[in-house]
Amino acid sequence: MATVVTAQIAEEDATQGGVLVREQVGLWRDGLRRLRRNKLALAGAFYLIFIVLVALVAFAWTPYKPSAQNVCPVEFAYADGISAAHPFGCDPLGRDILSQMMQGAQISLIVGVGTSLIVCVVGISVGLLAGFSRGVLDAVISTVINAFYGVPYLLLSLVLYLVLGPGLLTIMIAISATSWMDMARLVRGQALSIREREFVEAARASGTRQGRILFTHIFPNALGPIIVQATFIIPVAILTEAFLSFLGVGIRPPLFSWGAIASGSNTGGTPLNLLQSAPWIVLFPSAALSVTLLAFNFFGDGLRDAFDPRQKR
Amino acid sequence: MAVDAAAVRPGATPQPAEPLLRVAHVTKHFRAGVSGVVHAVEDVSFDIKPGETVGLVGESGSGKSTLGRVITQLVPATSGQVIFDGVDLTTLRGERLRQQRRHLQMIFQDPFASLDPRMTVGDIIAEPLVNFGLHDHKEKDRKVQELLRVVGLNPYFNNRYPHEFSGGQRQRIGVARALALNPKLIVCDEPISALDVSIQAQIINLLEDLQREFNLTYLFIAHDLSVVRHISDRVMVMYLGKIVEISPSEDLYESQEHPYTKALLSAIPVPDPKIESQRRLVELSGEIPSPLFPPSGCNFHTRCPIARVPGICADEDPQLQEKSPGRFAKCHFSDEVRTKV
Amino acid sequence: MPDITKPILEVKNLRTSFFTDDGEVKAVRDVSFDLYEGETLGIVGESGCGKSVTVMSILGLVQRLGKITGGQVLFRGKDLTKIPADELRHVRGRDIAMIFQDPLSSLNPVLSVGYQIDEAMYAHDVIKHDDIRARGVDLLEEVRVPDASRRIKDYPHQFSGGMRQRAMIAMGLSNKPKVLIADEPTTALDVTVQAQILELLRDLNQNTGTSIILITHNLGVVAGLCQRVIVMYAGEIVEEGTAEQIFENPQHPYTWSLLRSMPRVDTSRRERLKSIEGLPPDLIAPPPGCKFNPRCPFRIEQCFSDDPTLETVGDDDRHIAKCWVRMKRAYAEMGAATLTDTRPGAASGVRPPKTLVEKLEDSREIEPDTEAVGDLRGS
């Protein structure tokens, strides 16, 4: 038998017998095991680890200073772009694209994870409050959620950009402000359904206080879908950041994000003429962005499958 | 009302006059849709004495589970009183109600749904203790292990999760949780109907042993009359939100005072082909009416084989009356049940 | 009356496994039985004993991780495990119909009951298309749905549980099948409705001669309906015989224990129930020898090492049991008649061999500890 068999039977007592059972695994470990079997999710996870490593390395070292101009001759950059010294080429100001992209990885991850964290904090608190309290408070919160769905995120970003000025935090706040509602809705729905489950009733019957029910029964049981949702928010945030930066209302020099690099806005060019004269400036950051988004989505899908009990076999 | 003259189980403590639980005129209505009202429990009254097991049997839709939840105050009553140990639970709210839960526990039907899958067995069983600040950390583990041993589980299972156990074992965990606070009354809501046949007997025996050891009082809810009759001192039969018969379980198989009880008994299959071939089924016409629109008069008259329709049965709701010592029935013509049904 | 000489369905050495992450679950292990024309056959066992998987395998309905790993299912000389899926689909519903435990999930909620019954007939070309509409009403009347001509237009949610099950039976019968397989048809229903459905099945069997396989965990249900009974445990048939033989003279300790463990409405309630201790085995790693040995009060040394085979009991070759001991010997030598201690080995005094005990870690249910009870009360 391939599985580890912890068998069991009576002690020394002849009148007792036993049954053989397999070693059982915990719910989380069981999920991880299913995650490991999902090849795409695994590939996504490995790529993400790689990106995280790149971002970490970039804190200590990049081939050139990302904002340092003229590290390669301007004419050379336009001649044939890619060389051993500058594998991803240079921009018209003579800056190294690889170095910029390593920094872009940092920005993407910070924006992605940071936004996801903000969304989690806001969405989970609001959702739990609404789902657990039900009644009037729930109705009010649900109305607020719906109102937020009506806010156009581009407009909100522009307003925040004008009010708060450019910067990482502005971007994270802007994206969070337009994406916390999904999380809040999810958590509210989870709380509503879990609070009707029999084990919550059992907890009430044995005299458990409301707060404890919320934090030891409802929240842990909603955690699976929350983690999955939080994972899916990361690529959305990264994409939105890239888009905003591409439009020029996001990350500005001396910081570089993938969207900003690809837009060529740092160079004074437009994406269209860059694509003709120096396609690497557009293509490499765009590719990095696409693959990262793909990796997050594969990984998130894998997580969903792993923690969806209906998938159990 | 419902004074029980029947003998109690040998070994039980002498019966004090005061009931442990007195349910008086309890009614529970649920709202359904805009104007609909589900008449789940309708003016139900009964007593349970300390040390007694009272069975509550009925088909789905009879309101038996709702009644169990009204008694444990998981669902508030629409009207009526639930007097437990001298205190009317329906008047209590918040912390004062919570304190009463120490003495009034519940065992649930579904052993898979009633245990939090994210908690260890030890934490599940210890939760009632934690709720009332009864044990410090070290003592808690010891107590959990004792409880596990008492319900016949390995005491070193306390770090495992519910999904590692079979249905029967999980129900033992549920029993241990209910036992943790040393309650006076345990409401057992169909505790064995989700279990395999060979496991059901284990749980029934366990409940009976525990009752003897801890002087427990049970309200045992089930849809299976044979199980209820086995474990109970008295059996109450419920139909469409009302109790139609209360009888000492000894006498119930011999004779019935309500036609519904008779029909219910006649429908229970017996594992003996000879008896089965001679079985005479008391046919009830149609199916249980919706509790949204309960019939007029006696709510059983639409299916009753001896009902006078049109007549008194459709017009007048009979009261639950003592027909013979210790036996109550809610029927205008209970004398005819023996002969005509 | 059943023609006991002519099997209509022969299951031979059927094996079905589920390939899970934890290993191969051998859900059906070498099961063989015959179903005769016009017969009612009960298959009894606890959940996980393989009774449902057995009939699912017969109809090729084992899905996803499951696979038939061996054996034959002969219906009119054709092996259903070998024929193409398309042909099998025609056998299903036309020659062999099946009804399930939960009639609500078996019916499509957005189609009327009548439409679904008609559809079952259109699918198989047994009934002339002109007759289908009228037959739908006849069928509902046959399964005693009151006011059938009106109710045939209703949707499933307008039917009660019992009525839905009747509709399912009507659908099953629509193409005049030879065999009706009912998988726990009454488990979700109330007893009064259950009794009606069972009576209906009994009448259908007598009036139309349709063979019925009834799968259930409830021995009482079997006693009223079935002429022959198969008892399954851990994926195997442990005993088979006529209803009388099984209920009056059970020879396998499992059958015997199961019968004794049920609270009966017609007996005195004072008696303590004689439970079966322990749990059914894990089908990935069942115990060696007889799979019932960890729970059997009558086990002997041989039970731990050798797996018994199904052999005839007494003179009647219809009664077979899979046991080294058998209740006849248990009554004669181990005092089965007066046995109250139902713990494993209690009657025979046989403990598991040392080799087994050493290998195993204790994690089964143990006896309630009276000392612990004392402690608890003090605290």
Residue C290 has pLDDT above 90, yes or no: yes
- Give the chain C residue whose CA is nearest to the CA of B170: C365
Task: Say whether residue A13 is in contact with chain C using an 8 A CB cutoff.
Answer: yes
pLDDT tens-digit readout, C40-77: 999 999 888 999 999 999 998 887 788 999 999 999 88
Count the Cβ atoms, other than its own, within 10 Å of residue C129: 10
Query: A312 vs B66, which has greater pLDDT?
Result: B66
Residue A76 has pLDDT above 70, yes or no: no
- Give the chain B residue whose CA is nearest to the CA of A8: B154
User: Which pLDDT belongs to residue A25?
Assistant: 53
Average pLDDT taken over every residue of chain C = 86
| Over residues C168-182, mean pLDDT | 90
Interface test mutation site (partner B, options A29, A190, A199, max chain B beta carbons within 10 A): A199
Which pLDDT band holds residue C354 (cuts at 50, 70, 90)?
Answer: low
User: Which pLDDT belongs to residue C370?
Assistant: 44
Asked if residue A9 belongs to a domain, the reply is: no
User: Which pLDDT belongs to residue C245?
Assistant: 93
Please give the DSSP secondary-structure letter assigned to residue A224: H
Given a contact cutoff of 8 angstroms between Cβ atoms, the answer to whether B53 and B187 are in contact is: no
Asked if residue A67 belongs to a domain, the reply is: no
CB pairs under 8 A between B and C: 173
Which pLDDT band holds residue C126 (cuts at 50, 70, 90)?
Answer: confident
> In this complex, which chains have at least 3 CB pairs below 8 Å with chain A?
B, C
Residue C287 with chain A: CB contacts under 8 Å: 19-20
Task: Say whether residue A5 is in contact with chain C using an 8 A CB cutoff.
Answer: yes
End-to-end CA distance of chain B: give it in Å, rounded: 27
User: Which pLDDT belongs to residue A39?
Assistant: 87
Task: Say whether residue A201 is in contact with chain B using an 8 A CB cutoff.
Answer: yes
- Give the chain C residue whose CA is nearest to the CA of B143: C376
Range name among A101-110, A278-287, B106-115, C190-199 with the lowest pLDDT average: A278-287
| Over residues A282-310, mean pLDDT | 83
Asked if residue A79 belongs to a domain, the reply is: no
Over chain C, what HEC string results?
CCEEEEEEEEEEEEEEEEEECCEEEEEEEEEEEEEEECCEEEEECCCCCCHHHHHHHHCCCCCCCEEEEEEEEEECCEECCCCCHHHHHHHHHHHEEEECCCHHHHCCCCCCHHHHHHHHHHCCCCCCHHHHHHHHHHHHHHCCCCCHHHHCCCCHHHCCHHHHHHHHHHHHHCCCCCEEEEECCCCCCCHHHHHHHHHHHHHHHHHHCCEEEEEECCHHHHHHHCCEEEEEECCEEEEEEEHHHHHHCCCCHHHHHHHHHCCCCCCCCCCCCCCCCCCCCCCCCCCCCCCCHHHCCCCCHHHHHCCCCCEECCCCCCCEECCCCHHHHHHHHCCHHHCCCCCCCCCCCCCCCHHHHHHCCCCCCCCCCHHHHHHHHHC
Residue B231 with chain C: CB contacts under 8 Å: 263, 269
Count the Cβ atoms, other than its own, within 10 Å of residue B34: 5
Contact C282 A21 (CB under 8 A): yes
Asked if residue A212 belongs to a domain, the reply is: yes
Q: Which of A199, A201, A216 lies closest to B74 in CB terms?
A: A201
Given a contact cutoff of 8 angstroms between Cβ atoms, the answer to whether A131 and A192 are in contact is: yes
Query: C375 vs C216, which has greater pLDDT?
Result: C216
Given a contact cutoff of 8 angstroms between Cβ atoms, the answer to whether C340 and C274 are in contact is: yes
User: Which pLDDT belongs to residue A7?
Assistant: 24
Distance (Å) from the alpha carbon of C165 to chain A's nearest alpha carbon: 26
Residue with tokens 């839905």: C164
Going along chain C from its start, the domains and CATH numbers come out as 1-95+177-191+209-248 (3.40.50.300), 103-176 (no CATH), 284-378 (no CATH)
User: Which pLDDT belongs to residue A267?
Assistant: 63
pLDDT tens-digit readout, B122-140: 999 999 999 998 878 888 8
Residue A145 has pLDDT above 70, yes or no: yes
Question: ipTM score here?
Answer: 0.85
Distance (Å) from the alpha carbon of B228 to chain C's nearest alpha carbon: 9
Contact A19 C21 (CB under 8 A): no
Asked if residue A243 belongs to a domain, the reply is: yes
Asked if residue A11 belongs to a domain, the reply is: no
pLDDT tens-digit readout, C130-150: 888 889 998 898 888 888 888
Restricting to A residues 92-131, those with a Cβ less than 8 Å away from any Cβ of B are: none
Given a contact cutoff of 8 angstroms between Cβ atoms, the answer to whether A230 and A78 are in contact is: no
Contact B105 A208 (CB under 8 A): no
Asked if residue A244 belongs to a domain, the reply is: yes
User: Which pLDDT belongs to residue B11?
Assistant: 42
- Give the chain A residue whose CA is nearest to the CA of C278: A18
For residue A285, what is the domain's CATH number?
1.10.3720.10
Task: Determine the residue type at C237.
Answer: I
| Over residues A59-72, mean pLDDT | 78
Query: A274 vs C359, which has greater pLDDT?
Result: A274
Residue A311 has pLDDT above 70, yes or no: no
Percent of chain A with pLDDT over 90: 31
Restricting to B residues 102-121, those with a Cβ less than 8 Å away from any Cβ of A are: 102, 105-106, 108-110, 113-119
User: Which pLDDT belongs to residue A82?
Assistant: 67
pLDDT tens-digit readout, B16-74: 568 999 999 999 999 887 888 999 999 999 999 999 999 999 988 889 999 999 999 99
pLDDT tens-digit readout, C78-108: 899 999 988 888 888 889 999 888 777 888 8
Residue C192 with chain B: CB contacts under 8 Å: 59, 263-264, 267, 284
User: Which pLDDT belongs to residue C367?
Assistant: 46
Range name among A102-106, A221-225, A272-276, B99-103 with the lowest pLDDT average: A272-276
| Burial class for C110, CB neighbours closer than 10 Å (0-12, 13-18, 19+) | exposed
Distance CA C8, CA B22 (A): 60
From the list B244, B241, B262, the residue with the least C-alpha distance to B252 is B262
Residue A254 has pLDDT above 80, yes or no: no
Distance CA B284, CA B286 (A): 6
User: Which pLDDT belongs to residue B2?
Assistant: 43
Distance CA C45, CA C321 (A): 15
Distance CA C67, CA C59 (A): 12
pLDDT tens-digit readout, C217-235: 989 899 989 999 999 999 9
Residue B154 with chain C: CB contacts under 8 Å: 362-366
From the list A172, A170, A166, A154, the residue with the least C-alpha distance to A254 is A166
Domain extent at residue A164? 44-57+88-311
Range name among A230-239, B59-68, C294-303, C353-362 with the lowest pLDDT average: C353-362
User: Which pLDDT belongs to residue B90?
Assistant: 92
Distance (Å) from the alpha carbon of B104 to chain A's nearest alpha carbon: 8
**Could you tell me the two tokens for A196?**
């009707």
Asked if residue A279 belongs to a domain, the reply is: yes
Predicted TM-score of the model (pTM): 0.84
Range name among A180-184, B51-55, C20-24 with the lowest pLDDT average: C20-24
Question: Highest-confidence range of A8-12, C197-201, C354-358, by mean pLDDT?
Answer: C197-201
Which pLDDT band holds residue A100 (cuts at 50, 70, 90)?
Answer: confident
Task: Say whether residue C280 is in contact with chain A using an 8 A CB cutoff.
Answer: yes
Residue with tokens 């059914």: C280
C304-to-B174, C342, C345, C354 alpha-carbon distances in Å? 33, 18, 12, 11
pLDDT tens-digit readout, B250-294: 888 888 899 999 999 888 888 888 888 888 888 887 778 888 888
Average pLDDT taken over every residue of chain B = 88
Domain count, chain A: 1
Q: Determine the 3-state secondary structure of B54 from DSSP.
A: strand
Range name among B124-128, B216-220, C187-191 with the lowest pLDDT average: C187-191
